[in-house]
Amino acid sequence: MRQVGHFIGGKQVAGTSGRSSDIFQPMDGSVIGKVALASAAELDAAVRNAAEAQPKWAATNPQRRARVLMKFLDLIAQNNDELAELLAREHGKTIPDAKGDIQRGVEVVEFSLGAPNLMKGEFTDGAGPGIDIYSLRQPLGVVAGITPFNFPAMIPLWKLGPAIACGNAFILKPSERDPGVPMRLAELFIEAGGPPGILNVVNGDKEAVDAILDHPEIKAVGFVGSTPIAEYIYARGCANGKRVQCFGGAKNHMVIMPDADMDQAVDALIGAGYGSAGERCMAISVAVPVGKATADELVKRLIPRVESLKVGPSTDVTADYGPVVTKAAMEKIKNYVDIGVEEGAKLVVDGRGFKMQGYENGFYVGGCLFDNVTKDMRIYKEEIFGPVLAVVRADSYDEALKLTNDHEYGNGTAIFTRDGDAARDFASKVQVGMIGINVPIPVPLAYYTFGGWKRSAFGDLNQHGPDSIRFYTKTKTVTARWPSGIKDGASFVIPTMN
Ligand code: NAD
């Protein structure tokens, strides 16, 4: 049985708290390892180590820091197959999808290689008589990331790439469900020449998280996970004076206009609704066809496609999607389907009974499709995070827009139409952070920022792109003059440019 401890001071260390959690292999339901759950004392040891290493890393010139990350990327590429298999076995997603998970993380580290340029400040020559003003960006010190189970490579890389490139030391607290890839990434960072103490992995649960939130040496916390935890972490971290950004749950709507290309819309919904078993914060979980004819046609075409989805073990590269992460997740999803039926939604494809031959103990849920879902139902209001798509029929474009805007979540949304005016109006008026126009999963590329609105995000700076450099640095502004510019005498009036 694999024992996963922590990665502190450049090496793996065993957990000492006496607490651990099982690591499952969702495709067959077996326990494949145990991960240590850190105590506050273990977290403190990691922070002290990081705080000791950080000043030297910050003083290393930014091009040299970027070169370590270049080598790190090289090693990720060399170990891609192994990382993808490890990820798929612990998470459940298919190996090709696991490669996508790694790649979207890699792209943010690639963006972070530009830190020497991105961290540059501003300079005003002669802002006053003999006076120059300049600004600079400096790292914060020790910063932390708390990440969810559903992208165990991508989201840790989104956080550690910019943080480390900017000269911080980073403490990663990954999901206890799938800690294998984060631990391997920490090893590869050392192999790439990264100094010990700059990338640490502290595994754990609420106890480790609370220790992070309360630790005075940790200056910033980036979180991704469900909304209740996001809100909790935001409140506690801010109350302790930290810089905090928290990204939460989602219920992403896709509006299908009567003039949309129906083949494209159906393909988009199948991929975005059921890919990775719906366990993506940018998955489409609500389809909003506009008008009865559009809705009837959409549902008619979706039914055979959902019925013929190929669910398979994570190692089957031909599967459309694999198992969900845990037995508890599987039961929760099926329970939501039961609730939807009780609430009066029309379950037109029922995947609750799906069993994977040869993998009977795996955590599988077949594709489910609901029609006639209404906005008062729990299956509409709450995040299910599984392969369940809800069709909510709207009579008009305005109703579809209002529905999207009234939902408490605002992570991503999409509109499918050929009408530029409608698309433009939607992009302008919708109260959501990331919009797709005929693009179902509009995750911005690494050099733009990622973040939702409303209860999908707490804090004001997004992930990756220029915001990530702002989040992981603080600005210092210097006003300087030399003796020749100094006038004699004390001044008691505030200096102005009058
Ligand atoms: P989760 O909230 O259960 O866990 C996220 C992290 O918080 C984990 O590291 C976990 O150990 C920790 N945690 C869990 N319970 C805690 C508690 N009571 N106190 C302190 N820490 C706790 O989320 P998850 O199930 O791992 O991930 C799925 C969720 O993440 C979904 O809601 C999904 O929408 C969301 N998500 C959001 C984004 C985004 O960018 N908005 C991206 C990916 C996932």
Q: Could you tell me whether strands 252-256 and 199-201 are parallel, antiparallel, or unpaired per DSSP bridges?
A: unpaired
Mark whether 368 is an active-site residue: no
Strand stretches in 162-294, DSSP E? 169-173, 199-201, 218-224, 243-247, 252-256, 284-289
473 pLDDT above the threshold of 80: yes
Residue type at 85?
E
How far, in Å, is the centroid of ligand 1 from the Cα of 224?
Answer: 6
Q: Which two tokens stand for residue 478?
A: 């210097």
pLDDT of 50 reads 98
pLDDT band at 484 (very low <50, low <70, confident <90, very high): confident
pLDDT, average across residues 106-133: 96
* Closest residue by CA, ligand 1 atom 39: 247
Tokens standing for 382? 């709450």
Mean per-residue pLDDT, 472-486:
91
pLDDT of residue 340: 98
- The chain-wide mean pLDDT, for the chain, equals 97
Specify whether the backbone of 370 is left (phi greater than 0), alpha (psi in -120 to 50) or beta: beta
Residue-wise pLDDT for 307-335, tens only, equals: 999 999 999 999 999 999 999 999 999 99
Q: Which atom of ligand 1 is nearest to the CA of 175?
A: 9
ipTM > 0.95, yes or no: yes
Residue 461's pLDDT is 96
Average the pLDDT over 426-444 and give the result: 97
Best residue for ligand 1 mutational test, from 37, 149, 157 (most atoms within 8 Å of Cβ): 149
Ligand 1 atom at minimum distance from 227 CA: 32
Task: Kindly give the distance from the C-alpha atom of residue 186 to the centroid of ligand 1, in angstroms, as a whole number.
Answer: 21
Per-residue model confidence (pLDDT) at position 496: 81
Catalytic one among 166, 238, 246, 281? 281
d(CA 35, CA 208): 13
What average pLDDT does range 85-96 have in this prediction? 98
- When pLDDT is averaged across residues 98-127 and rounded to a whole number, the result is 97
Among 272, 222, 218, CA closest to 250? 272
Contacts of 71 (CB under 8 A, 6+ apart): 192, 193
Name the residue of 6, 24, 150 whose CB sits within 8 Å of the most ligand 1 atoms, as the mutation to test its pocket.
150
- CA of 25 from ligand 1 middle (Å) equals 19
Calculate how far, in angstroms, residue 452's C-alpha sits from the geometric centre of ligand 1: 15
Residues 213 and 221: their CA atoms lie apart, in Å, by 8
Q: What is the β-pairing status of strands 142-146 and 218-224?
A: parallel
Instruction: Tell me the percentage of the chain whose pLDDT exceeds 70.
Output: 100
Phi-psi region of 131 (alpha: psi -120 to 50; beta: other; left: phi over 0): beta
Condensed to tens digits (0 to 9), the pLDDT of residues 198-217 reads 999 999 999 999 999 999 99
The DSSP secondary-structure symbol of 440 reads: S
Per-residue model confidence (pLDDT) at position 482:
87
Tokens linked to 220: 């910033």
The arithmetic mean of pLDDT across residues 150-170, rounded, is 98
Please check whether residue 476 is in contact with residue 136, taking contact to mean a CB–CB distance below 8 angstroms.
yes
Q: Which atom of ligand 1 is nearest to the CA of 230?
A: 2
Distance 269 CA to ligand 1 centre (A): 24
Q: Whose CA is nearest to atom 17 of ligand 1?
A: 206
Global pTM reads 0.97
Position 483 scores a pLDDT of 83
Q: How far is the CA of 147 from the centre of ligand 1 (A)?
A: 6
- Closest ligand 1 atom, residue 173 Cα: 9
Nearest residue (CA) to ligand 1, atom 32: 226
Which residues line the pocket of ligand 1, CB cutoff 6 A? 146-151, 173, 175-176, 205-206, 209, 224-226, 229, 247-250, 281, 383, 385, 411, 452, 456
Percent residues over pLDDT 90 in the chain:
96
**Range 223-261 burial, b when 16+ CB lie within 10 A, else e:** bbbebebbebbbebbbeeebbbbbbbbbbbbbbbbbebe
Which residue lies with its CA nearest to atom 20 of ligand 1? 206
Residue 485 has pLDDT above 80, yes or no: no
pLDDT value of position 464: 95
- Give phi and psi for 490, each to the nearest 5: -80, 145
**Distance between CA atoms of residues 488 and 169, nearest Å:** 45
pLDDT of residue 76: 98
Identify the band that residue 490 occupies on the pLDDT scale cut at 50, 70 and 90: confident
pLDDT at 486 over 80: no
pLDDT digits (tens, 9 = 90+) for 232-269: 999 999 999 999 999 999 999 999 999 999 999 999 99
Dihedral, CA atoms, 148, 150, 156, 161, nearest 10 degrees? -130
At 214 the pLDDT is: 98
pLDDT for res 471: 98
Tell me the CA–centroid distance for residue 225 and ligand 1, in Å. Answer: 2
pLDDT band at 447 (very low <50, low <70, confident <90, very high): very high
Closest CA to 2 of 179, 154, 148: 179
Instruction: Check whether 394 has a pLDDT greater than 80.
Output: yes
